[in-house]
Amino acid sequence: MNIALIGVGNVGAALLRQLHGRAARVAREAGEPVTVLRAAVRDPRKVRDCPDPIFGYTRDVGEVLTDARIDALVELAGGEDWLPVLSSFLRSRRPVVTANKALLARHGPALLALAEQHGAPLRFEAAVGGAVPIIRTLLDSRRVDHLTYVGGVLNGTANFLLDRIAGGTDYETALEEARQAGFAEADPSDDVDGLDAARKLSVLAQLAFGAAVPPEAWPRAGIARLGPRMLRAALRPDERVKLVAEAWETTDGVTGYVGPAILPASAFLARPSGAENAVVIDGTPGGPTALMGLGAGGDATASQVVADLVAVARARRAADPVEHLMPVEPVEVLSPRLSARLVGLNPRSLNALWGQLPPGTPHDPDARLVGPMDARSLLALADRYGVHLLIERRGGALLQAPPAPL
């Protein structure tokens, strides 16, 4: 199977190394050799730490699309601008593998519809969870269960930073450590502001609930500027803080949020360390399923791209190679009711904030606790006063029951 590759950054280079170093095993599992013929990149002359494609690099994506020798496309460049390219390739009845969560979060339903219409597989295991095979697990579970919950620790960069900060490292030093380890981009805004996790949550909601939710629709708080002293003041010894993204189905629709959450150290979602991710899905009658693994870094993500390529190669010999999914419809995200601990405030600012709470909102000034209250109102209040908030999660041992929606 001949592959065209768009984007040879951290993940793309790791993919080329893995396909070269594991060529015999990949060919055995796929039923045929899997070879990268050509790669489209911004700078073809750049020196890269990976084997070159057979016919090298090009800046002209059109060369990739029109090359009749290409059997499948792998897109690892990221960003929503690749929608026309992926759509065109699917219309040519050829498979696409992508790790582009930004594109899938907003245009996943349209791409999936194109894939089904033209009989061209669309695979995207690497878009969520790094080495954690959550997409396949979710799809398999949904065939027999009615899924009601999906969520977890979905950003390895944020988890790496929170681990270091909780251990006493300041934010900027922790960020530089993450960059040196290959777990953070030069601009980590999407990771630390929670946008990357929100995109992944949107992808999971499409598959779990058939719900098309734009990433910006989730109530969201990030972890930027959290410091060791803030966490020491806010957390008890038996607690951990994680950037959690979760959504659940209610009788009225879908609700969820993204934000730093306080978890008991014994909870499953408190366990991932460093750049690990952890994901839980729940439904009836099957109950909860929990997965954990490395969620950031080129090798972890590329391993799932290889798995998708093996699946695509096998599907080429099947009578029906396309994954048939439930219809996906736009939905409005209901704002959950959340409780939070407030950190990083001086007493004067805190007193001013208490005075701005909606009448009847539960709060404990001594413990700096507020809520439960509408999540969007809570986040707006936090932004107004420059407050860091840590969402309180309460409930069962595995992951803690979702907060009650409005």
Q: Specify the amino acid at residue 361.
A: T
Partners of residue 241 on adjacent β-strands: 262
Name, in order, each residue with C-beta under 8 angstroms of 337's C-beta and a sequence gap of 6 or more. 371, 372, 373, 374, 375, 403, 404, 405, 406
Tokens 């929608």, located at residue: 83
The two most distant CA atoms of the chain are separated, in Å, by: 69
Q: Tell me the torsion sign for CA atoms 130, 135, 138, 140.
A: negative
Cβ neighbours around 185 below 10 Å, total: 16
The CA–CA distances, whole Å, from 215 to 190, 281, 343 equal 11, 19, 26
The CA–CA distances, whole Å, from 261 to 204, 258, 274, 341, 370 equal 19, 9, 17, 9, 14
The CA–CA distances, whole Å, from 48 to 9, 11, 13, 242, 313 equal 9, 12, 7, 34, 27
Give yes or no: 242 in active site: no
Name, in order, each residue with C-beta under 8 angstroms of 363's C-beta and a sequence gap of 6 or more. 354, 357, 369, 370, 371
| Active-site hit among 46, 101, 200, 242 | 200
**Catalytic residue list:** 200
